[in-house]
Amino acid sequence: MTFALQSGLLFRRKLLETLRQPVWIITGLSTPLLYLALFEPLLRSVAGGPSLPAGHVLNVFVPGILALMAFGAGMGAGWVVIWELDSGVIERLRVTPASRFALLLGAVLRDVAMFVVPGIVVIGIAIGFGFTAHWDGLALILVLLALLTAACSATSAALGISLKQIGSLAAVVTGVQLPLTLLSGILLPLSLGPDWLRVLGHLNPMYYTVQAARDLAAGTITTTAVGTGFLVTGAAAALAMWWGTRSYQRAMT
């Protein structure tokens, strides 16, 4: 099957590119570990209410950290796309008969790998700190958050192709980053906040991803939140990939 072969080849190209820049692998790992080391003690001291029971801080916090990693692993895609537009790589690939979806997917899969591998490392370290592991739940978290990475990566790539300039892309991405992450309850559950904040949260697709991730981390797999999370995140990923593929079809430089 040509499409699978092309996606595999393009994934390998992107993976090699990443492995040759180990700096990114190190920052990809150090940020979540710093959160664990610096934010977790802070969180522990405010815990104790009904929304954030003491003793389980890490269980609430780790799924959030993983979601943040998944988000971050995807949102950087646009920078690479712009760099490839400027050096003519995308133009060259677009003149070949390669599938446009494969052109997108190669980079998306790399970003997914760049979430999953450090994600497993962070889970391992968190277990060492006292995080309660529910293995089936954790496996599903990785699948769910891989979809989030795919959605973010494809969106960022599509934005990169249409904006064409690093400055504009940076403005858009940092502009949406804060509301998206804050209103998803990644670092602190939204149930701690007032009603209006929770209403806003429900308008944010990522909110459902994080809710599902929390349930999964607790080992409760068959909740409505998990179903909704997979549905919303899966739909977002599908929509973003469709947009990204279209962008590759029509890219103009």
Partner 1 sequence: MPVTESPPVAIQALGLRKSFRVKDQAVEAVSGLDLTVAAGQIFGFLGPNGAGKTTTLRILTTLLPADAGQAFVAGADVMRNPQQVRRRIGYVGQLGGADGSATGLENLLLQARLYGMTAAAAASRAEELIELFDLRAFAGRIVRSYSGGQRRRLEVALGILHRPQVLFLDEPTTGLDPQNRANLWNQVRHLRDGGTTVFLTTHYLDEADQLSDRLAIIDRGRVIAEGTPAQLKQRYSGDTISITPSGPPDSLESLERELAGIPLVRSTRIEDGSIRLAVTDATRSMAAVFAALAGSGIAVRAAALAQPSLDDVFLHETGRSLRDAGGPTGGPATERPAGEQVAA
Give residues in contact with partner 1 (CB under 8 A). Answer: 2, 5-6, 9-10, 13, 16-17, 20-21, 84, 86-89, 91-98, 250-253
Q: Which is nearer to partner 1, 9 or 139 (CB)?
A: 9
In angstroms, how far is CA 80 from the centroid of its own chain?
16
Of the pair 89, 225, the CB lying nearest partner 1 is at 89
User: By C-beta, is 9 or 199 nearer to partner 1?
Assistant: 9
**SS in 3 state form for the chain?**
CHHHHHHHHHHHHHHHHHHCCHHHHHHHHHHHHHHHHHHHHHHHHHCCCCCCCCCCHHHHHHHHHHHHHHHHHHHCHHHHHHHHHHCCHHHHHHHCCCCHHHHHHHHHHHHHHHHHHHHHHHHHHHHHHCCCCCHHHHHHHHHHHHHHHHHHHHHHHHHHHHHCCHHHHHHHHHHHHHHHHHCCCCCCCHHHCCHHHHHHHHCCHHHHHHHHHHHHHCCCCCCHHHHHHHHHHHHHHHHHHHHHHHHHHHCCC
Q: How far is the CB of 207 from partner 1 (least distance, A)?
A: 36
Minimum distance, C-beta of residue 20 to partner 1, in the bound complex (Å): 6
User: Which CB atom, from 134 or from 246, has the smaller least distance to partner 1?
Assistant: 246
Q: Which is nearer to partner 1, 86 or 136 (CB)?
A: 86
Question: Of 17 and 136, which has the nearer Cβ to partner 1?
Answer: 17
In the complex, what is the shortest distance from the CB of residue 250 to partner 1, in angstroms, rounded to a whole number? 8
Least Å distance between CB 86 and partner 1?
7
Residue 173 CA to chain centroid, in angstroms?
13
Rounded least distance, CB 10 to partner 1, Å: 8
Least separation in angstroms between residue 2's CB and partner 1 is: 7
